Amino acid sequence: MAARAPTTRTALLTAAGALAGAGYLRFVDPHQPGALVPRCPTKLVTGLDCPACGGLRLVHDLTRADWGAAVHDNPFLLVCAPALAFLAAERLRASRAGVPAPPRRRLTYGLAGAALAWMVVRNQPGWPLTPTGGR
């Protein structure tokens, strides 16, 4: 069975969900213990910070224009967000045109490799940029 291409409706629902999540994180501080936010399954199982750990804190910090805290919580995700948005937009554009999205193997594999490297680096003892507070 072939994978279905995302539709405009799917893209709009995804964007609405992302905006709702960012709005929620504007008022709920994931830095605080006991905040009603999901826990990282990688952190729960292995005790290691995954490449996205600190992402909820990052969004909270960005909604409050606290760039210093955002960089401290997850600089990798902050830097990679434009590339991920580009890939998503390109896929949506292609699906709306009824053509397959162009394969971006270098970018995709590059991001995956960088995420793996980031996970190794950020879990080294003494690494200064760890997600702040909370969990």
Three-state secondary structure along the chain? CCCCCCCHHHHHHHHHHHHHHHHHHHHCCCCCCCCCCCCCHHHHHHCCCCCCCCHHHHHHHHHCCCHHHHHHHCHHHHHHHHHHHHHHHHHHHHHHHCCCCCCCHHHHHHHHHHHHHHHHHHCCCCCCCCCCCCC
Domain membership of residue 48 (yes or no) is yes
Contact 78, 55 (CB under 8 A): no
Number of domains in the chain: 1
**pLDDT in the model for residue 5:** 56
> Does residue 127 belong to any structural domain of this protein?
no
In a domain, 79, yes or no: yes
Would residue 135 count as lying in a domain?
A: no
Q: Is residue 21 part of a domain?
A: yes
Confidence at residue 39, expressed as pLDDT on a 0 to 100 scale: 86
In a domain, 134, yes or no: no
For the cut 70, the answer to whether the pLDDT of residue 118 exceeds it is yes
Query: What's the predicted TM-score (pTM) here?
Result: 0.79
Give the confidence band of 23 by pLDDT, cuts at 50, 70, 90. very high
- The verdict on residue 1 lying in a domain is no
C-alpha–C-alpha distance, residues 134 and 33, integer Å = 4
Q: Is pLDDT of 54 > 60?
A: yes
Residue 12 pLDDT more than 90?
no
Predicted pLDDT of residue 4: 60
Average pLDDT of the segment spanning 87-106: 84
Residue range(s) defining the domain that contains residue 21: 8-122
**Does residue 95 sit within a domain?**
yes
